[in-house]
Structure 1
């Protein structure tokens, strides 16, 4: 006997996620894989497992546990996910993945936040390198932002310098930033004055360099 389709069962078996996540995830420098990992975490937590393992998440996806770990590391580095402690009904303390920072960023009102600026920075690097950044490269940019406290505009200026010098690699950009740090350069405008390209005529090429002007205007 064929079991009739049940709309009630369908409605009861729904995953509730903020629609804003699907609309604005790109503004936080997230990709589709990142979003699916987030959705898997939410769904697994609804079943009672508050801190799912990499393997538990990977079993539901087409990526492996190492790739899941890289996504979670990216989310933590971008301050979109925390591991926090919570007490259950029996008073026992458990760890869980908290996505509160992610949702706070999605629903912030007013002027663009520094986190939004940082999200655009990751997008700009991927645009210039014409590929997705590796986990190590994401960590490098996060280190510049969080540990070295370089402003996004200054990192953009260093990226611009590397592009103009034809040395588009992370080591060269890191060297530029550290040289500027030694010289006390903290703004993109100061970096512009320091640039060896400042008194040179830009080479004639088809590349649209108008974006560089916008970086220095921020």
Structure 2
């Protein structure tokens, strides 16, 4: 007998989809059709079909079994999908579609993107200072990234404010970042919102050009 509708039933019938998969699948060379096939596999596996057939997958889509086969071939050729054997609790052997390589590749892209962004950050500092950074300065930027966990865009925002205020030195930038940390500012959007709030609180005659960030160290 089919159970009546309930929100509890709705929750139990859901599948967990990493938001990164939906946001960044195109970086792996995947398209919307590929993603729907992947989601159908995840959904069928949740219901016990560890190695669903092409027809089973196609029955929930607007493409046919041959087109599903082509998508699966593409995923396997790109090493995003593997057919593996697993052993159940009764020592029975089963084959299943393993998607672990897909998620490993997805987060490797994120790591490479982060490393590239950090590399550009050091280049930006050298451009603004018009010289090569000293070992101590490189260590300072690395500390902001690794220990303080500041994202590169936030460090760039602090650098920009130092430039705009005519106080281009590492001590000033460090003070800005620490002041933001105390105030719970963790993103460029937080910076803009907080700066706008501060500017709105000032008397009209004291308002600054809105293209310039609020000077956090003058309160």
TM-score (norm 1): 0.48
Asked which structure has the greater CA Rg, the reply is 2
TM-score (norm 2): 0.48
